[in-house]
Amino acid sequence: MRKPASIAAPKGKLGILTPGMGAVATTVMAGVELVRQGESTPIGSLTQMGTIRLGKRTDARVPKIKDFVRLAELGDIVFGGWDVYSDDAYQAAAKAGVIDAADLNKVQKFLKSIRPMPAAFDQNYVKNLHGTNIKKGKTKFDLAEQLRDDIRNFKKSNKLDRVVMVWCASTEVFMKPEKVHDDLQSFEKAMKANDPAIAPSMLYAYAAISEGVPFANGAPNLTVDIPALEEFAKSKHVPICGKDFKTGQTLMKTVLAPAFKARMLGLRGWFSTNILGNRDGEVLDDPGSFKTKEESKLGALEYILQPKIYPDLYDKFYHKVRINYYPPRGDNKEGWDNIDIFGWLGYPMQIKVDFLCRDSILAAPIVLDLALFMDLAQRAGMRGIQEWLSFYFKSPMCARELYPEHDLFIQSMKLKNTLRWMMGEDLITHLGQEYYD
Ligand SMILES: NC(=O)c1ccc[n+]([C@@H]2O[C@H](COP(=O)([O-])OP(=O)(O)OC[C@H]3O[C@@H](n4cnc5c(N)ncnc54)[C@H](O)[C@@H]3O)[C@@H](O)[C@H]2O)c1
């Protein structure tokens, strides 16, 4: 891979557009403003709090990531978004119930100023939503053109230098790649013919790429993970990445499974169940949307454990994921895992994980990091799938001929080594020189 000759400085303002202004998006917006006002700390954000070691361990060079690669400043960020409900970000955040009233009041004026643009939406793709703030257009192509106008107007009226888009809207029904997704020409033809294989999320991705705007997909929808849009992104020099923010249960899974494999411990079964009561949970109560999420959550273990290479340890382990809508919990999800492992001589053991997490609190820093890193990637001239951002995803996108990397520690190393590589620093391999000195 060729190192970027130079990385353009993050001058001027950066727009972050989110299709979807629900729990996750409004938690990022409120959080960034609370941090800007000096009222809070950006915990969970690698771009804001993370450091990177450079050179030898004895060199004591450990700058903050944001100083090392020069990311956009929080003060230069402007938010905008679309939603099928017309609530402004304050009302939406209050309904989502993630951030408490005392904190929301501190940023009320700011949040009220962010009003959702009408969405490109079709209920065939998300069943359990009934909003009215929706665009009209004869064809899907018309809707994409309207989205392009929205991006241009947002950029112009806020005097932005650059814009990135992070999909924070609901999970769409499960879709498989079809012929019309193969190349851009077929894709555009299908948009004009209102082909059912074109989901609303694809219109946002198409509009973003057309406008030179990097696109990150926080949901498990197919969206930008199709050859037509991948090629389009490459030809327009636009970075893309996805899918599905890695937050609660899958974060734990991609920490524990690599540990079992590293110690050659076997796995007989992994049963994961969740209860959650937010709008995301309601959407996932529909079998079509759940199927999309289920596929995304199931993939990680197979790739990490490699049953073909280690049949004695991982052949035919039973893996089940359940998500149950349970309104009393709101955004405060509970994820249980029962893990049946076995050790020396095949003796069985069990592990139970009960993660009482806050979904959007875990997702918000991911949105911020993705936006800032995607902006960096574009300023560095990188385009197409950004595999180094797999760290943030449950179902990382990768080149067709490769398999996705799910192990959190490999992902973290890849992310940091990519930053070192971008800046012309030595990559860190953790190989010890001391044995020979
Ligand atoms: N919170 C997490 O931990 C987490 C983790 C991984 C993925 N996700 C995904 O992130 C997404 C957002 O989660 P959330 O908790 O904020 O959900 P949410 O239901 O609170 O917000 C989603 C919003 O998207 C809007 N929407 C739906 N379709 C739209 C469209 N076509 N255009 C514009 N707006 C649209 C909905 O009206 C809703 O307000 C979901 O797809 C979810 O699966 C969340």
What is the domain partition of the chain in residue ranges?
14-245+361-422, 249-356
Q: Which of 217, 209, 216 is nearest to 234 (CA)?
A: 209
Above 80 in pLDDT, residue 47? yes
CB of 33 within 6 A of ligand 1: the answer is: no
Q: How far apart (Å, rounded) are the C-alpha atoms in residues 218 and 27? A: 14
Substitution site in 21, 24, 126, 249 for ligand 1 pocket (most atoms within 8 Å of beta carbon): 24
Mean pLDDT value of segment 241-257:
92
pLDDT digits over 60-70, tens only? 899 999 999 98
Rounded mean pLDDT of the chain? Answer: 92
CA 157 to ligand 1 centroid distance, Å: 26
CB of 22 within 6 A of ligand 1: the answer is: yes
Mean pLDDT value of segment 134-156:
97
Mean pLDDT value of segment 321-336:
86
Q: How far apart (Å, rounded) are the C-alpha atoms in residues 84 and 142? A: 17
Give the best-scoring range by mean pLDDT among 130-139, 244-253, 364-373, 405-414: 364-373
Q: What is the pLDDT of residue 233?
A: 97
Q: How far apart (Å, rounded) are the C-alpha atoms in residues 19 and 10? A: 24
Burial class (CB in 10 A: 0-12, 13-18, 19+), 49: middle
Indicate the pLDDT class of residue 80, thresholds 50, 70 and 90: very high
Above 90 in pLDDT, residue 141? yes
CA 153 to ligand 1 centroid distance, Å: 24
CA 374 to ligand 1 centroid distance, Å: 20
Indicate the pLDDT class of residue 1, thresholds 50, 70 and 90: low
Cα–Cα–Cα angle for 236, 239, 243, rounded to 5 degrees: 130
CB of 168 within 6 A of ligand 1: the answer is: yes
User: In degrees rounded to 5, what are phi and psi of residue 152?
Assistant: -60, -45
What angle separates helix 184-192 from helix 200-210, to the nearest 10 degrees?
Answer: 120
Above 70 in pLDDT, residue 250? yes
Cβ pair 359, 379 in contact under 8 A: no
Q: What is the pLDDT of residue 128?
A: 80
The CATH H-level (homologous superfamily) assignment of domain 14-245+361-422 is: NAD(P)-binding Rossmann-like Domain (3.40.50.720)
Q: What is the pLDDT of residue 405?
A: 86
What angle separates helix 140-157 from helix 184-192, to the nearest 10 degrees?
Answer: 100
Substitution site in 147, 280, 333 for ligand 1 pocket (most atoms within 8 Å of beta carbon): 280
Indicate the pLDDT class of residue 318, thresholds 50, 70 and 90: very high
Q: What is the DSSP letter of 244?
A: S
CB of 332 within 6 A of ligand 1: the answer is: no
Q: How far apart (Å, rounded) are the C-alpha atoms in residues 218 and 389? A: 12
CB of 170 within 6 A of ligand 1: the answer is: yes
Structure tokens at 329: 């919990």
Indicate the pLDDT class of residue 5, thresholds 50, 70 and 90: low
pTM score, whole prediction: 0.94
CA torsion, ordered 275, 279, 284, 287, to nearest 10 deg: 120
pLDDT digits over 261-309, tens only? 999 999 999 999 988 887 777 777 777 777 776 776 677 888 899 999 9
CB atoms within 10 A of CB 56: 12
Q: What is the pLDDT of residue 2?
A: 57
CB of 203 within 6 A of ligand 1: the answer is: no
Find the range with the poorest average confidence among 35-39, 46-50, 94-98, 425-429: 425-429
Terminal-residue alpha carbon distance, the chain:
32
Counting every residue written for the chain, the total comes to: 437
Q: Percentage of the chain surpassing pLDDT 90?
A: 76
Mean pLDDT value of segment 391-419:
91
Q: What is the pLDDT of residue 401?
A: 82
Mean pLDDT value of segment 370-380:
97
Order of strands across the sheet with 348-356? 318-325, 266-276, 334-342, 348-356
Above 70 in pLDDT, residue 190? yes
Q: What is the pLDDT of residue 276?
A: 83
Q: What is the pLDDT of residue 369?
A: 98
Q: Which of 111, 8, 66 is nearest to 369 (CA)?
A: 66
pLDDT digits over 146-162, tens only? 999 999 999 999 999 99
Q: How far apart (Å, rounded) are the C-alpha atoms in residues 157 and 78? A: 11
pLDDT digits over 91-107, tens only? 999 999 999 999 999 99
Order of strands across the sheet with 239-241? 117-118, 77-83, 14-19, 162-167, 215-217, 239-241, 384-385
CB of 137 within 6 A of ligand 1: the answer is: no
Q: Which residue, judged by its Cα, is nearest atom 30 of ligand 1?
A: 121
Substitution site in 170, 249, 358 for ligand 1 pocket (most atoms within 8 Å of beta carbon): 170
Q: Where are the beta strands (DSSP E) in 218-333?
A: 239-241, 266-276, 318-325
Q: What is the DSSP letter of 119?
A: B
Above 60 in pLDDT, residue 436? no
The CATH H-level (homologous superfamily) assignment of domain 249-356 is: Dihydrodipicolinate Reductase; domain 2 (3.30.360.10)
- Tell me the one-letter amino acid at 249: Q
The H-or-E segment that residue 354 falls in is strand 348-356
